[in-house]
Structure 1
Amino acid sequence: MSDLAERAAGLLGSTVAETRPFAGGSLSSVEFLRLDDGREMLAKSGPSPRAEARMLQAIRAAGVPAPEVFAADGVVLAIERLPDDGGLSLAWADLGRIVRTLHEKTGEAYGWEDDYAFGKLAITNTFSDDWPRFYAENRLLAAARGTGADVERRVEALCGRLGDLLPRRPRPSLLHGDLWSGNVLASNGRISGLIDPACYYGDGEIDIAMLGLFARPTTAFFDAYGPLSAGHRERAPVYALWPALVHLNLFGAGYRGMVEGYLAEAGF
């Protein structure tokens, strides 16, 4: 029996009846857990389980489906297991509506109450009222560090122009922050939940750009989400660049072509 399962059960005042590995992300461990009192859930490790719990609760409070949080401490997060049949292709319109609902929840500045991390890569969320500066310092430059001199130089050049490329004060929407297709659960043509968030307040276009990294949102998604601001197509590669840099930083040279492609699209 794993320490993760036992710790989750202890937080909930019970003991483990059954546990087994569950498909999770590349940066955390996930286990299915059934307690002696019959409750079932997922037990998940991560960089900051308490911070992730607050993010999931914020998403749910915005009226967006996400797993219920049962317990969290500094080591484990115990959450609801949601249905998932892998049918995102039938649920793009529902996802568009849900992401719009998420983005309608706004903050007063750009950032988040907690810093976070993707594996070894720290994510600083100190609040700012200057979006291009926040995105340059806390996202692009931080993720580019250590990826190689050529990429670092090109990202620095891009960041020197971000004030011309991005709006200074877009609406500070509640963002999922890691919205790729693998973090979207669907069942029977509807979205059952968004998982593995890295929330902060920022320009909603970044969630949409990230969603296009490994999937192709359909016209139904964009129709349901609603109109995007003028110039969104030009901003898309700038916003997709951050998750591409994260992948290059964490997983290596196989993602260099993706990074260089987005830099080229952005004119750098």
Structure 2
Amino acid sequence: MTRLARHGAALLGGQLWNWHPLQGGDLAQTLLVYLNDGRRVVVKNGPDPRVEAAMLRALGQTGAPVPDVLAVDEDALVLQYLPADGPLATCWGELGRVLAQVHTGRPPDGATRYGWGTDYALGTVAVPNAWTDTWPRFWAERRIGIHLEHVGIDLARQLERLMHRLPELLPATPPPSLLHGDLWGGNVLVHARRVTGLIDPCCCYGHAEVDLATAGVFDRPPAAFFMAHGPLEAGYEARFAIYRLWIALVHLRLFGATYRPLVAHYLDGAGVG
């Protein structure tokens, strides 16, 4: 980690004074780095720092709060340090409003299509993002089908059944909104009862309900969160299960069988358990 801290300092043209790890770090090393000139910054590595930097910039262009990208290369991303010492419980409503801003983002060419300009990864799990013209195809091929070879034959068969049903369960061509893509409480910075930043994105353009759904995998967003974003459309419960299933599958592959019951729960919610 000292090597990463030194590299981050060098990218800013400074010298390392001290550093310590920040909370999290399951999928990347993330450090708070102090420079000799008094600056403090966040330095992290990851599967592709340049892609993460582009995602943060896209989020920021919507007006949503994100840390500024100070420097980046193929080995490290250096970010503005933002205070984060408050609980998300105090500002779920504000997070709903922030997400509404994020979801105003549209694909650069303005076309109705779904994906992102480059592939990405969550740890060792690939996240393909090649563009598709329909949303059910994107979710089937890029978020569910990629796991078939990694989860065992019985679960793979259930996933295949779900994939075949997605055209009837998901909207064909919803407005392609910019998505954070990995939204949960640990990726939201809070200070003084305000959302100070969204971090660790896994962006693509897709159905806005994805972020609303994934926020509830590890947390329990109150009604104020959903009301602040906007009214939910009929049938959202099954769609939420489908969107949360992707997060559960990623965790199953990264962290093992303890996440299998969560996968089964969301398959039941989607009607294929």
TM-score (norm 1): 0.97
Partner of 2:138: 134
Q: How far apart in 2 are the matches of 1:164 and 1:143?
A: 21
Measured in 2, the distance between the counterparts of 1:18 and 1:161 equals: 53
Q: Determine if the alignment matches structure 1 residue 188 to structure 2 residue 192.
A: yes
Deviation at 1:17, TM superposition (A): 1.5
Matches within 5 A, 1:223-262: 223-262=227-266
What amino acid maps onto 2:241 in structure 1? P
Q: Distance in 1 between matches of 2:171 and 2:21?
A: 44
The 8 Å contact of residues 59 and 66 in structure 2, kept in 1 or not, is answered as yes
- What is aligned with 1:30? 30
Q: What is the CA-CA distance between 1:144 and the residue it aligns to?
A: 4.1
Residue 230 (structure 1) shift? 2.3
One-letter identity of the residue aligned with 2:159 = V
Matched-pair contact (CA < 8 Å) for 1:144–1:245: no
Which runs of no fewer than 5 residues in structure 2 stay unpaired?
none
1:37-80 Cα deviation digits (max 9, x unpaired): 22110110100001000111111111000111110111111101
Aligned-partner Cα distance in 2 for 1:219–1:161: 29
Aligned partner of 1:5 in structure 2 is 5
3-state SS of paired residue (1:104): coil
Q: Does 1:200 align with 2:209?
A: no
Residues in 2 aligned to 1:22 and 1:166: alpha-carbon distance in whole angstroms: 38
Show the counterpart of 1:159: 163
- What secondary structure sits across from 2:132 in the alignment? coil
Q: How far is the alpha carbon of 1:228 from its aligned partner? A: 2.0
Q: Deviations over 1:199-240 (max 9, x none)?
A: 110001111111000001111111111112222122111111
How far residue 24 of structure 1 moved from its aligned partner, in angstroms, is: 2.8
Tell me, in whole angstroms, the C-alpha distance in 1 between the residues paired with 2:45 and 2:6.
Answer: 13
| 1:86 to partner: Cα distance | 3.4
- Residues 46, 76 of structure 1: 8 Å contact kept: yes
Residue 60 of structure 1 pairs with residue 64 of structure 2: no
Please report how far the alpha carbon of residue 36 of structure 1 lies from its aligned counterpart in structure 2 after TM superposition.
Answer: 1.8
1:119-150 C-alpha deviation (Å, 9 max, x unpaired): 11111111111111111111111134311211
1:73-222 mapped onto 2 (5 Å cutoff): 73-107=73-107, 108=111, 109-222=113-226
Report the Cα distance in structure 1 between the residues aligned to 2:127 and 2:163, rounded to whole angstroms.
17
Question: SS state of the match for residue 161, structure 1?
Answer: helix
**Structure 2 letter corresponding to 1:2:** T
Identity %: 48
Distance of 1:54 and 1:38 partners within structure 2: 27
SS of 1:186 mapped into structure 2: strand
Gap change, CA 1:204 and 1:114, over 3 Å in 2: same
Aligned residues of 1:206 and 1:239 also touching (Cα < 8 A):
yes
Secondary structure (helix, strand or coil) at the match of 2:246 reads: helix
CA RMSD, aligned part only? 1.1
| TM-score when normalising by structure 2 | 0.95
Q: Deviations over 1:147-166 (max 9, x none)?
A: 12111110011001111110
- Mapped to 1, the partners of 2:244 and 2:79 lie a distance apart of 29
How many residues were matched structurally? 268
Judge conservation of contact 1:143–1:242 (CA < 8 Å) in 2.
Answer: no
